[in-house]
């Protein structure tokens, strides 16, 4: 019988599950000497919480978690060096699975149906759930705007996670602006779905989306043009919570950070959060390069021509867009329509 596992939600998005159940191996775990000498049957059920969308879209095994690897890891630990406690065996299996790329949470059940009890029984089980937030050993798996890059603020030896005004929630929802872009896969569909997912996050209300614009890549290796848009939201989240929600949705749609300025399925940047101006190791508001990016300014101007980018490099968006120019930028021939909150809310509930 498959284990019943509650969903795992990361930054407002429910992840998919890959389950391998009934892995059966002879092992020598237990407190009693006789258990270690003769051994007995152990079983394991493992459920890995992942995003399968990127793999499904491309039918690409390298973009998902190989369930054979999950089974092999569980079997190796069940048959491996003996532990006294089932809790220890379950912990070792969880660590091995969490160490696989793309796994953000794992549920493990270890069964000991031949345990030396003095009454008739069917099974003994230990159930645990572990995720990347519960173990510093897996901090390199964190999803972040610079995770794994040379400027990763949470890399080993860095200053660590900030705790500052960016963690403070507003008394009332505040307007914020997000910029979305991508150039891998069906980008238009990905961006539209990401907007719907944003609206589903508790504390985020999508108010307006801009038309899509096409622009050449800004640096990096040779790659396709990007599709870009901006989204006006109102949010009750703290700035850092909003950043985490955006990064969680990036993860769902297969965002990879193999190289700086490389191609990507999706990128979601926090451009502005009310009138907040500030900087920490992991977040700067407003976005430090927003005033230089025509793929941010042009779609923003299309929906809010009188908007103002805060900060010392800011100003009226129309004026900033005029200074940067529109070289290489074009509105997509059949852009997605501007959407109000009601449209996004209806799509999210579909």
Q: Which residues pair with 328 in a beta bridge?
A: none
pLDDT at res. 202: 80
Contact 269, 176 (CB under 8 A): no
Tell me how crowded residue 202 is: count the other CB atoms within 10 A of its CB.
9
- Judged on CB neighbours under 10 Å (0-12, 13-18, 19+), 324 is middle
User: 302 CB contacts (<8 Å, ≥6 apart)?
Assistant: 210, 211
Task: Output the CA torsion sign for 130, 131, 136, 141.
Answer: positive
| Dist. CA 6–CA 28, nearest whole Å | 31
- Angle of CA points 222, 247, 329, to nearest 5°: 40
For the entire predicted model, the pTM comes to 0.59
Which residue out of 10, 63, 112, 141 is catalytically annotated? 112
- Asked if the peptide bond before residue 286 counts as cis, ω within 30 degrees of 0, the response is yes
- Judged on CB neighbours under 10 Å (0-12, 13-18, 19+), 222 is exposed
What domains lie within the chain, and their CATH numbers?
A: 9-141 (3.30.1130.10), 165-348 (3.30.70.560)
Per-residue pLDDT of the chain (350 residues; tens, 9 = 90+): 556 788 888 766 788 999 999 999 999 999 999 999 999 999 999 999 998 887 887 788 877 899 999 999 999 999 999 999 999 999 999 989 988 888 888 999 999 999 999 999 999 999 999 887 543 333 333 333 333 333 333 333 444 444 788 989 999 999 999 999 999 888 998 999 899 888 888 889 999 999 999 999 877 778 889 999 999 999 999 999 899 888 888 877 877 665 666 788 899 999 999 999 999 888 899 999 999 999 999 999 999 999 999 999 999 999 999 999 988 888 885 566 544 433 443 433 33
Contact 185, 227 (CB under 8 A): no
Half-sphere exposure of residue 24: CA atoms within 13 angstroms, side-chain side: 4
Q: Is 63 among the residues known to form the active site?
A: no
Tell me how crowded residue 201 is: count the other CB atoms within 10 A of its CB.
24
């Amino acid at each position: 019988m498959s284990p019943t596992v509650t969903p795992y939600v990361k930054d407002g998005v429910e992840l998919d599950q890959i389950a391998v159940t009934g892995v059966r191996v002879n092992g020598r775990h237990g407190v009693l000497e006789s258990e270690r000498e003769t051994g007995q049957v152990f079983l394991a059920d493992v459920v890995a919480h992942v995003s399968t969308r990127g793999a499904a879209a491309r039918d690409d095994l390298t973009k998902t978690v190989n369930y054979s690897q999950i089974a092999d890891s569980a079997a190796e630990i069940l048959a491996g060096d003996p532990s006294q406690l089932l809790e220890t065996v379950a912990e070792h299996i969880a660590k091995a699975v969490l160490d696989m790329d793309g796994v953000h949470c794992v549920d493990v059940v270890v069964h000991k149906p031949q345990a030396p009890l003095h009454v008739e029984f069917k099974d003994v089980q230990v159930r645990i759930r572990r995720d990347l937030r519960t173990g510093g050993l897996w901090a390199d798996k964190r999803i972040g705007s610079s995770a794994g890059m040379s400027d990763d603020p949470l890399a080993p030896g860095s200053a660590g996670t900030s705790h500052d005004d960016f963690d403070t929630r507003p008394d009332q929802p505040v307007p914020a602006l997000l910029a979305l872009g991508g150039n891998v896969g069906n980008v238009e569909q990905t961006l539209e779905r990401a907007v719907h997912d944003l609206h589903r996050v508790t504390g985020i209300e999508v108010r307006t989306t801009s038309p899509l614009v096409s622009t050449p890549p800004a640096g990096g290796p040779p790659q396709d043009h990007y599709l870009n848009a901006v989204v006006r939201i109102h949010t009750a989240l703290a700035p850092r919570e909003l950043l985490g929600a955006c990064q969680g949705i990036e993860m769902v749609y297969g965002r990879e950070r193999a190289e700086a300025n490389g191609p990507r399925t999706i990128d979601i940047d926090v451009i502005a959060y009310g009138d907040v101006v500030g900087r920490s190791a992991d977040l700067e508001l407003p976005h430090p390069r927003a005033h230089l990016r025509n793929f941010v300014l042009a779609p923003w101007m299309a929906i809010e021509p009188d908007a103002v980018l805060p900060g010392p490099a800011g100003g009226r968006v129309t004026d900033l867009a005029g200074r940067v120019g529109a070289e290489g930028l074009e509105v997509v021939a059949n852009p997605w329509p501007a959407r109000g909150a009601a449209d996004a809310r209806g799509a999210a509930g579909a």
